Amino acid sequence: MGRRIRVISYNIHKGFCTFNRFTLHRIKEAIRETGADLCFLQEVVGQNQKFASNITNWPSEAQFEFLADTIWPHYKYGQNAVFPERHHGNALLSKYPILMSENISLSTNRFEQRGLLHCQLHLPAEDGYPETRLDVLNTHLNLLHSSRLIQTQRIITWAKTRVAAESPLILAGDFNDWQGSLSPLFSQGLELRESFLTHRGEHARSFPSHFPLMTLDRIYMRGLTITSTSVLNALPWIELSDHLPLFVEFELPG
């Protein structure tokens, strides 16, 4: 049996539910209860002076720091969408040390500022498992199909130069891929398998949270074994964001 790694991918909608109620404190409690080792988060606010002034329980620190707290001691934020007095992007919360990180722009137009956050993790030797490294990529792609194709090719080209072909890899996030057209491209380009498609025969329905019909979110992987997959589609999750989280448990050989 390999080392168990529990992963959640979640578009937190800047800490607001579908009906624009501020839910960040409830999101913090909910993701803690999953026991995830790695949290791939999208639409995370790094700074918003208007919200900080107008929302009474807005945290004093950035959202990724607030969510990480003492549970995930290692975290990185990729600032993508930048405006006067506010910015948001992708964030990784990790129980494992982060050896390096870089944030790559995937923007194809001035209206949608997107990025790819790459972190290399150090998994120490423990419980009989050897020391190893794991590369993880967190992203949020455009709404327009033609732009997503461009961004997908950029991810593939970039990852081929930055991640060793034999290295285990997780790529997760909000791909806005309701047509399901990107999985074959990642399979061909990086030998990545989509976890739900592999384990259940179909992509996960994660949007909108109250009546999920669209398959926007993904957790791709290689070099790991899938042991379980689930869409967190009960209370409180349907009340926390406009997306539902994806949860996958892997085993890393060794």
Whether the pTM exceeds 0.95: the reply is yes
How far is residue 109 from each of residues 46, 96, 112, measured CA to CA in Å?
A: 22, 35, 6
Q: Is residue 238 scored above 80 in pLDDT?
A: yes
How far is residue 28 from each of residues 51, 102, 130, 189, 210, measured CA to CA in Å?
A: 18, 25, 31, 35, 19
- Provide, rounded to the nearest whole percent, the portion of the chain with pLDDT above 90: 91
The pLDDT, as a whole number, for residue 83 is 85
User: Which positions ≥6 away from 161 have C-beta within 8 Å?
Assistant: none
Q: pLDDT tens-digit profile of 177-235?
A: 999 999 999 999 999 999 999 999 999 999 999 999 999 999 999 999 999 999 999 99
**Residue 246 backbone zone (phi > 0: left; psi -120 to 50: alpha; other: beta):** beta
The pLDDT, as a whole number, for residue 84 is 85
Confidence of residue 109 (pLDDT cuts 50, 70, 90): confident
How far is 94 from 21, CA to CA, in rounded Å?
Answer: 27
- Total domains in the fold of the chain: 1
User: Which positions ≥6 away from 121 have C-beta within 8 Å?
Assistant: 38, 94, 96, 97, 98, 99, 133, 134, 135, 136
Confidence of residue 159 (pLDDT cuts 50, 70, 90): very high
* Average of per-residue pLDDT values in the chain: 96
How far is residue 98 from each of residues 73, 101, 135, 137, 165, measured CA to CA in Å?
A: 10, 7, 10, 12, 20
Over range 131-141, report the average pLDDT. 98
Which residue type is seen at 208? P
Q: Is residue 169 scored above 80 in pLDDT?
A: yes
Helices (H), the chain: 24-34, 49-54, 63-68, 145-162, 183-190, 195-200
User: Which positions ≥6 away from 222 have C-beta within 8 Å?
Assistant: 168, 169, 190, 191, 192, 193
The pLDDT, as a whole number, for residue 82 is 76
The pLDDT, as a whole number, for residue 90 is 98
Confidence of residue 107 (pLDDT cuts 50, 70, 90): very high
The pLDDT, as a whole number, for residue 81 is 77
Identify the residue with better confidence: 18 or 111. Answer: 18
Q: Is residue 100 scored above 80 in pLDDT?
A: yes
The pLDDT, as a whole number, for residue 87 is 87
The pLDDT, as a whole number, for residue 115 is 97
| Cβ-based neighbour number of residue 160 at 10 Å | 12
Task: Take residue 84 and report the two structure tokens written for it.
Answer: 């006067």
What domain range includes position 167? 3-252
Q: What is the CA radius of gyration of the chain?
A: 17
Over range 82-107, report the average pLDDT. 94
Between CA 196 and CA 10, with CA 194 as vertex, the angle to 5 degrees is 70
Domain of 16: which CATH number? 3.60.10.10
Confidence of residue 111 (pLDDT cuts 50, 70, 90): confident
Distance, CA of 118 to chain centre = 11
